[in-house]
């Protein structure tokens, strides 16, 4: 049988790279990996992957990547939409240029890429689309409004897509990770403090930063490792695969069973 062709976006680090490594180790796949920084994927090339330079916000680069895969492998059988980042800081302090870029990366670029791979999947009447969302798609917290907005949007988009594509034999899987070890300092705390560390929201920002540092360093609130990324290769993958850190499971439980008021009190108490 022809090996299934997989495209993993955001494969230069974190979950994307770990997922590509797992697929390559499992064997039986033609693995394309895409990111802005091709040099960060040379180790994946050495293991058998095919790196592509692709900025998920640039339509010409998205189109070129899909054209190359189509010419070489026929099309994409499994799309893993992993590229994304978190924009943290007070809503009022965030420049709208940054807001638009957040949505371009976390939603619009992902949607455009999905549009381009679907004709092949429909023709084959088979395919899998994996959208890496976040536990932030289910909960909320201060200083995360724009990032969480993209993840809530991705959740609804994925649910609609699941119903639209089911008649064609195409499955849509949502992954909802908690905090990942590679993200904490560089992606979450640093930009949040830079954006809102000297504004009307400084007291809340500093309290939240301190609370997160204490929480994530506690043994019972360990952050997940990217190497625990889901095994997408299994044919009976659940529609939602929730690889969450323990703190995220706690927040989800309170959000579901306590309602908004209880959850609000929990979050504000956590911040102090």
DSSP state of 48: T
Mean pLDDT of 152-169: 97
β-pairing verdict for 127-132 and 4-9: unpaired
What is the C-alpha separation between 38 and 261, in angstroms, rounded?
46
Told to judge if 166 belongs to the known catalytic residues of this protein, a careful annotator would answer no
Token pair 């306590």: residue: 258
pLDDT of 187: 67
- pLDDT number for residue 218: 60
Which pTM does this prediction carry? 0.88
DSSP letter (8 states) at residue 224: B
Q: What gap in Å lies between CA 61 and CA 59, rounded to an integer?
A: 5
Residue range 13-19: mean pLDDT, rounded? 93
User: Under the phi-then-psi rule, with left for phi > 0, alpha for psi from -120 to 50, and beta for the rest, what region is 5?
Assistant: beta
Predicted pLDDT of residue 200:
95
Flag the least confident range among 52-61, 207-216, 230-239.
230-239
| Residue-range domain boundaries for the chain | 4-183+224-245
Residue 246 scores a pLDDT above 80: no
Task: Examine the residue annotation and report whether 158 is marked as an active-site residue of this protein.
Answer: no
CATH topology of domain 4-183+224-245: Rossmann fold (3.40.50)
| Interval 76-97 mean pLDDT | 95
Which of the following is catalytic: 4, 29, 120, 133? Answer: 133
Residue-level pLDDT at 45: 96
206 catalytic? Reply is: no
Q: Exactly one of 17, 50, 138, 151 is catalytic; which is it?
A: 151
pLDDT digits (tens, 9 = 90+) for 17-70: 999 999 999 999 999 999 999 999 999 999 999 999 999 999 999 999 999 999
Indicate the pLDDT class of residue 243, thresholds 50, 70 and 90: very low
φ, ψ (nearest 5 deg) of residue 159:
-65, -40
Least confident of 61-75, 87-101, 165-179, 247-261: 247-261
Average model confidence (pLDDT) across the chain: 88
**151 in catalytic set:** yes
In the chain, what are the helix, strand and coil shares in percent, each to the nearest 5? 55, 15, 30
Cα separation, 79 vs 121, whole angstroms: 10
Q: Of 4, 12, 201, 229, which is the active-site residue?
A: 12
Residue with tokens 């609804």: 156
């Amino acid at each position: 049988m022809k090996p299934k062709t997989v495209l993993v976006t955001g494969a230069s680090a974190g979950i994307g790279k770990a997922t590509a490594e797992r697929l390559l180790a499992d064997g039986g796949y033609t693995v394309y990996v895409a990111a802005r920084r091709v040099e960060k994927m040379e180790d994946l090339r050495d293991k058998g992957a095919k790196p592509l330079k692709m900025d998920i916000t640039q339509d010409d680069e998205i189109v070129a990547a899909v054209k190359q895969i189509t010419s070489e492998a026929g099309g994409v059988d499994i799309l893993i939409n992993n590229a994304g980042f978190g924009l943290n800081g007070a809503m009022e302090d965030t420049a709208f240029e940054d807001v638009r870029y957040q949505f371009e990366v976390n939603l619009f670029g992902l949607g455009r890429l999905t549009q381009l791979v679907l004709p092949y999947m429909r023709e084959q009447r088979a395919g899998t689309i994996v959208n890496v969302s976040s536990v932030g798609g289910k909960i909320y917290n201060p200083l995360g409004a724009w990032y969480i907005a993209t993840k809530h949007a991705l959740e609804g988009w994925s649910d609609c897509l699941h119903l639209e594509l089911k008649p064609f034999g195409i499955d849509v899987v949502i992954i909802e990770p908690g905090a990942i070890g590679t993200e904490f300092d560089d992606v979450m705390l640093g930009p949040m403090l830079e954006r809102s560390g000297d504004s009307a929201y400084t007291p809340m920002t500093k309290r939240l930063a301190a609370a997160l540092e204490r929480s994530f360093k506690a043994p019972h609130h360990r952050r997940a490792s990217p190497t625990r990324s889901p095994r997408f290769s299994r044919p009976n993958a659940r529609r939602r695969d929730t690889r969450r850190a323990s703190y995220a499971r706690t927040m989800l439980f309170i959000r579901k069973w306590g309602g908004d008021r209880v959850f609000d009190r929990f979050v504000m108490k956590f911040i102090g």
